[in-house]
Amino acid sequence: MAFPAPIWLAVQEELLGSIEPEEDYGSRSCFDGFTDEALFETFHLSRPCIAFITEAVRVRLKSAAFKRSPLPADVMLMAALNYYAHGLFTPAVQQKVPPVSLTAALSAVSGVIAGMSDVFISFPLTVEARSRTASKIQELCGISDVLGVLAPAHFKIRASPYDKPSFKSFINVMGYTSVVSQFICDCEGNILSVEKCCVGSTFEQELWDSSFKGREVEEDLHGAFWFIGGKGYKLSKHVLTPVSEPMSIREVRFNEAHAKMDKVMQKMLCSMKTRFRCLQQLGFAEETSLNKKSNIIKACSVLHNIAKKFSVPLPPAAGKEELPYPGKPYSAPMEINHEALRARQELIDRNFPNC
């Protein structure tokens, strides 16, 4: 992520410095009643991490829209974090929060944390940040001038088969119903960008073409850098796809390096779904209700980046590991970009000389 530790500390100081004590419960928090072990089991986060999140969320929940809520901010957050961790509200939390307030708390907190993405999901915007990010990627895989890995992330949902047109639109290439969001991450698994929430049948190239980040990148607003993309994307001056039929050792080595970076994205998404098990099954969805799913996905993305900064370990994996998404290329051949082909070949020749 583009934020180094000093900036995160400055953000924390700004958040903490602007907080007034809650009249309802003073300096105590509902999380104080959990042991460290129970806290991690219930929320999949550590106490220092939760304390940081609580202060950040409390500031934002003090808007007029939430002042009428009978629940303190930390109680609302407790309900949401519990749902993110398990995909449901566990008995330990249900005993502390009125049942009628659980869903409302989840919706409110998800919207607030999703709104924190401009602070905690940080794309490298300065020359120094871009150079630092690209340098780390080159150290890992050997490909220069790459800012991140681009991929669609699919999250399972339940869609009604009785609404056949809508149901079909949610079926992805793996054969299950899902919603899909566009992710970019760096070589350390920090999320740099998350956008969109579309039905699972959406092509990843469509996501990229219609996304804010995609338009910025293709219009050269972020400089002459590449993004690693799978076979569902078309090769462009900024999206670097693998060589479909490698004819030389150089191209084979390039594809191996490309796959190494692709695995970083796979590992990041697997980590997210392990810590935030709600992402393994997002419940029922209709095309008109994707914003709520989007808020949960983006909120978990924010929390993923914060958890990494606090070095919070992952909980034990539950269930079968999900197979990586293979990509959904267009059925019709994509237009060949000869300029991009030449640029990719020059990159390969420069980074992978013959041994």
**In a domain? residue 313:** no
d(CA 38, CA 223) in angstroms, rounded, equals 47
**In a domain? residue 344:** yes
Give me the DSSP letters along 221-269. TT-S-EEE--TTS---SSEEPPPSS--SHHHHHHHHHHHHHHHHHHHHH
Is 219 found in the same domain as 98? no
Is 135 found in the same domain as 115? no
**In a domain? residue 24:** no
Is 175 found in the same domain as 273? yes
**Pair type for strands 226-228 and 239-240:** parallel
Q: What is the pLDDT along the chain (355 residues), one digit of tens a residue?
A: 444 444 454 555 544 444 444 444 346 789 999 999 999 999 999 999 999 999 999 888 876 455 566 788 999 999 999 999 999 999 999 998 988 889 999 999 999 999 999 999 999 999 999 999 999 999 999 999 999 999 999 999 988 777 777 888 999 999 999 999 999 999 999 999 999 899 999 999 999 999 999 999 999 999 999 999 998 999 999 999 999 999 999 999 999 999 999 999 999 999 999 999 999 999 987 666 788 899 999 999 999 999 999 999 999 987 667 777 887 776 666 678 899 999 999 999 999 987 5
The total number of structural domains in the chain stands at: 2
DSSP symbol at 58: H
pLDDT, residue 46, reads: 97
Which one of 77, 102, 120 terminates a domain? 120
**In a domain? residue 5:** no
d(CA 203, CA 221) in angstroms, rounded, equals 24
pLDDT, residue 188, reads: 96
pLDDT digits (tens, 9 = 90+) for 203-254: 999 999 999 999 999 999 999 999 999 989 999 999 999 999 999 999 999 9
Is 160 found in the same domain as 100? no
**Owner of token pair 């606090």:** 310
DSSP symbol at 176: S
Which one of 120, 143, 162 terminates a domain? 120
Full residue range of the structural domain in which residue 83 is found:
31-120
pLDDT, residue 220, reads: 92
**In a domain? residue 141:** yes
Is 269 found in the same domain as 147? yes
**In a domain? residue 14:** no
pLDDT, residue 318, reads: 72
Is 192 found in the same domain as 254? yes
pLDDT, residue 161, reads: 77
pLDDT, residue 165, reads: 77
Is 193 found in the same domain as 270? yes
Is 253 found in the same domain as 193? yes
Is 181 found in the same domain as 61? no
Is 114 found in the same domain as 159? no
Is 105 found in the same domain as 131? no
pLDDT, residue 333, reads: 65
Is 102 found in the same domain as 194? no
Q: In what order do the strands lie in the sheet with 146-156?
A: 191-199, 178-185, 146-156, 226-228, 239-240
pLDDT, residue 317, reads: 81
**In a domain? residue 236:** yes
**In a domain? residue 38:** yes
Which one of 99, 120, 141 terminates a domain? 120
